[in-house]
């Protein structure tokens, strides 16, 4: 098997899996000794220790469990940026599909929460609670394939809703362009953190959006339905780049303070490469060398 998908935090799964659980279990890996208290399973008493110390100790082992992998996908209009078939949303779909397949192969449960602001604020346009099994994976991939970019961004609200809906610890993978005022994003991340979720963010950007390398007057049509804007790029490039720099600095600050696994990904990079970097970073054996 290639690179596995690992959770960085302990997961509370319903079945045995390859991820560490906060509950002591019967796995082979020793966890700790603790004093016997009445009611403990006497089968777990370490008789050898009793023999040496004349005291009762319980020997505890790590428990391995499965994880819940939940995707929060931004489907606002801005995710439709790019050539047909190579849009930002297409890129997001590739990431989601690959990771979902990978998790499913490991026996993990996968779920999907996707939407934008033009949807009702009580539910996502696509909401698939995390479940295990190849059949569920097939359903989920079908739903991912049906995602379309439209409307304004509602990612912050989506994160808050997902935080409320996903009851148990999960690996939350957020895929978005984050092209909105990111100030409330920190609070949303904190919400997820409070629920003890492991958060991963794929920030999808196009180099053209950063470098703004246009050479003649251009009318910019807002993909999220806002008014269009006619501008001479030569005149505003400097200010534009200043604005981008300020925005990126703010994003960096938020992700650092929120301690999330943040991946800024450019669309000209292959998604396999982006995912490989992500997976390597999460593998305890390869993480150090990857960094």
Q: Please report, as ranges, the residues that interact with another protein according to CB under 8 A.
A: 77-81, 88, 177, 179-181, 203, 205-207, 209-212, 214, 216-224, 226, 228-232, 234-245, 247-248, 252, 255-256, 262-264, 266
Beta carbon nearer to another protein, 236 or 287:
236
Beta carbon nearer to another protein, 43 or 219:
219
* DSSP one-letter string for 18-83: SEEEEEEEEEEEEEEEEE--TTS-GGGB-HHHHHHHS--EEEEEEEEE--EEEEEEE-SGGGG-SS
CB of 76 to another protein, least distance (A): 9
Beta carbon nearer to another protein, 101 or 212:
212
CA atoms of 207 and 90, how far apart (whole Å):
16
CB of 117 to another protein, least distance (A): 15
**Cβ count near 226 (within 10 Å):** 11
CB of 209 to another protein, least distance (A): 4
CA atoms of 112 and 130, how far apart (whole Å):
7
CB of 268 to another protein, least distance (A): 12
Beta carbon nearer to another protein, 79 or 100:
79
CB of 269 to another protein, least distance (A): 12
Residue bearing tokens 């082992």: 61
CA atoms of 149 and 143, how far apart (whole Å):
14
Beta carbon nearer to another protein, 114 or 137:
114
Cβ-based neighbours of 21, under 8 Å, separated by 6 or more: 10, 11, 12, 13, 62, 63, 64, 65
Cα separation values, 284 from 3, 176, 209, 215, 270, Å: 11, 26, 34, 46, 24
Beta carbon nearer to another protein, 15 or 243:
243
CB of 162 to another protein, least distance (A): 22
- Using DSSP's 3-state secondary structure scheme, residue 278 falls into helix
């Amino acid at each position: 098997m290639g690179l596995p998908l690992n959770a960085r935090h302990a997961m509370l799964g319903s079945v045995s899996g390859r991820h560490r659980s906060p509950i002591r279990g019967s796995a082979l890996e020793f966890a700790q000794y603790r004093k016997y208290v009445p009611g403990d399973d006497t089968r777990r008493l370490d008789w050898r220790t009793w023999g040496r110390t004349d005291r009762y100790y319980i020997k505890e082992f790590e428990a391995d469990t499965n994880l819940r992998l939940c995707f929060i996908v931004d489907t606002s209009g801005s995710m439709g940026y790019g050539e047909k078939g190579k849009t930002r949303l297409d890129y997001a779909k590739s990431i989601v599909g690959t990771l979902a397949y990978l998790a499913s192969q490991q026996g993990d449960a996968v779920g999907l929460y996707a939407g934008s602001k033009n949807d009702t604020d009580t539910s996502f346009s696509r909401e698939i609670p995390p479940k295990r099994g190849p059949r569920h994976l097939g359903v989920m991939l079908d739903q991912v394939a049906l995602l379309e970019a439209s409307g304004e961004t509602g990612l912050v609200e989506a994160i808050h809703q997902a935080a409320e809906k996903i009851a148990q610890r999960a690996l939350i993978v957020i895929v978005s362009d984050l092209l909105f005022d990111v100030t409330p994003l920190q609070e949303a991340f904190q919400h997820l953190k409070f629920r003890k979720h492991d958060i991963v963010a794929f920030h999808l950007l196009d180099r053209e959006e950063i470098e703004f390398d246009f050479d003649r007057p251009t009318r910019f049509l807002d993909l999220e339905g806002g008014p269009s804007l006619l501008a001479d790029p030569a005149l505003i490039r400097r200010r534009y780049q200043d604005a981008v720099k300020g925005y990126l600095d703010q994003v960096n600050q938020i992700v650092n303070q929120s301690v999330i696994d943040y991946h800024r990904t450019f669309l000209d990079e292959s998604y396999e490469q982006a995912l490989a970097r992500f997976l390597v970073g999460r593998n305890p054996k390869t993480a150090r060398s990857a960094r």
